[in-house]
Amino acid sequence: MNRYRIDPLPAPLDPALRAKLEQVETATLGHVRLTGFANRTIQALDSKQTVRVGVAVTLALPPMCSTLMHYAVSKIRPGDMLVVDRLGDDRHACLGGAVARAAKQAGAVGVVIDGPVTDINEILDEGLPVWCRGASSLTTRRLNLGGTFNRPIACGNAPVLPGDIVLADASGVVFLPADEAENEADAGIARQGRVARTMERLQNGERLGDITGVVKQIDDAIGANADTETKTS
């Protein structure tokens, strides 16, 4: 019986779109989007991780098994982001130093795993950006249990399709449908421009509540309430 479900690799990410998205922080999208965010417990191994953008190559691994992981890192291309569904297994690490080196040499932009990793220092030394649920010394084995490659998965409680665009940094991971990525990039760049102007005004001594209008909003509400109480007393 064939335990594997293997689909073709998705289309590569357009370099111009990648360049746009690399200017956008995940927290910028967090101000406006409600969907596509991986659970916050999936965090970058490097606390100073800068933005990485890649096209999602999806993988679902059965608990304890890493056979398909070895296959996946042998198939991914430069610019791909490997996204791994551990199917509920939070004990066994499917990525360590050797797999990290293989992924890095294949040109992977990074790896997002809904589970732990091992050999953290080796992974950091390899320079492969990794997002995961922490560390485990208990590892997977090549048990030939099957799995799926480039089929729909879930990662960090978010649905992920092969070909989705992955945006990840020190604040977390966002999965964007490919047809929404361009608009999100443009809106994110514009928003960050507005934030930069706010930061400059703060540096020049203005108060945040005055800049955002919150102070006036609350003062007006207090004044209106006081007027109402005076008229009814």
pLDDT of residue 147: 97
Using CA atoms in the order 10, 58, 40, 114, what is the torsion angle rounded to 10 degrees?
-170
Q: What is the pLDDT of residues 4-42, one digit of tens each?
A: 999 999 999 999 999 999 999 999 999 999 999 999 999
**Residue 232: its pLDDT value, please?**
62
Residue 55 shares a structural domain with residue 125? yes
Tracing tokens 């995940």 back to the chain, one arrives at 26
Shared domain for 20 and 74, answered yes or no, is yes
**Residue-wise pLDDT tens digits, 91-143:** 999 999 999 999 999 999 999 999 999 999 999 999 999 999 999 999 999 99
The one-character DSSP state at 180 is: G
Q: Where are the alpha helices (DSSP H) in the chain?
A: 15-21, 26-30, 67-72, 97-106, 120-126, 181-203, 208-212, 214-232
Domain count, the chain: 2
What pLDDT, on a 0 to 100 scale, did the predictor assign at position 233? 60
Asked if 63 and 15 touch (Cβ cutoff 8 Å), the reply is: no
Residue where one domain finishes, among candidates 156, 179, 202: 179
List the domain range (segments joined by +) for residue 224: 189-232
Residues 174 and 194 in one domain: no
Q: Is 62 among the domain residues?
A: yes
User: Is the domain of 16 the same as that of 124?
Assistant: yes
pLDDT tens per residue across span 40-89: 999 999 999 999 999 999 999 999 999 999 999 999 999 999 999 999 99
pLDDT of residue 226: 64
For position 54, which CATH number holds?
Answer: 3.50.30.40
Mark whether 21 and 75 lie in a shared domain: yes
Give CA–CA dist 88/86, Å, rounded: 5
